[in-house]
Amino acid sequence: MKNNFDKKMFYVLVTCLALSVVIVGATFAFFTASANDNESVVGYSETSSFGLSVTKVTSLDMTFGLIPMRNTEAPYAAEQMCYDDRGSVGCQIYKITIHGDVDNTMFVDGYITTDTLPGIETRFTRVYPYDYTYTDPDTNEEVTDHIFRTSYTKQEMLDVNFDMSEHIKSGKLGSDNLSSLNQTDDYDCLFVSNEKIGGDAGADVDFYLMIWIYDDGTNQDFIQGSRIVYTGMATFVSAAGNEIKASFD
């Protein structure tokens, strides 16, 4: 499963999750935010059992910083928990949880928007937890690794009919209006669509996001030493038009 991102290391420090949660909408109260070991952003409503939390899943050694990554490396990076075979870090994975009410079903769209340093672009994709079981050749015992997978393979990405825009997004606003996100104008920010919360889907529903610095094929040495490379905003919109937001980096 080893591979090489074929990119020299960039010394980029990425800070832990920011602490900012906002909610908009007539039917929900304002959220308050708290953090656990600087890894989570959590919001809870005072008048409704509805909330949003964002947790950084990857616990990475950032000694050598975050390096730009080609889109075609996304399937491999997910399985390797964002490490390449030289120990370099190519991405970050976050868990986004919508806390709902099992007795109150709703459907939501989720959007990811990013702000970056000048000259830098991000890409993101949805990933899925997967238990990879194999036999350890030294002990002859079964071992299970908890990894992630994309819904597509690298081989599928190389097919001329593969729709890259359906699976990998830039997080760039199309409507230039963060307060009125929609699937038509802001398709390049759309993370999940018409996802069910509550009822038989359960009160808490998890979504996993992988985000990376886009390798544009040019010399990107100028990002070396940058403390904050990107900041992001997760926005979930219910069918009733209510919004809930959390920022992260």
**Helix (H) or strand (E) run with residue 156 in it:** helix 154-157
What pLDDT, on a 0 to 100 scale, did the predictor assign at position 155? 94
**Tokens 């870090």, residue?**
89
Does position 2 have pLDDT exceeding 50, yes or no?
no
Does position 172 have pLDDT exceeding 70, yes or no?
yes
Mean pLDDT lowest among 168-172, 219-223, 228-232:
219-223
pLDDT in tens, 183-200: 888 999 999 999 999 888
What pLDDT, on a 0 to 100 scale, did the predictor assign at position 179? 63
What pLDDT, on a 0 to 100 scale, did the predictor assign at position 224? 54
pLDDT in tens, 35-59: 333 344 444 333 345 678 888 898 8
pLDDT band with cut points at 50, 70 and 90 for residue 18:
very low
Does position 6 have pLDDT exceeding 70, yes or no?
no
| Pairing label, strands 204-213, 230-238 | unpaired
**N- to C-terminal Cα separation, the chain:** 28
The model carries a pTM of 0.77
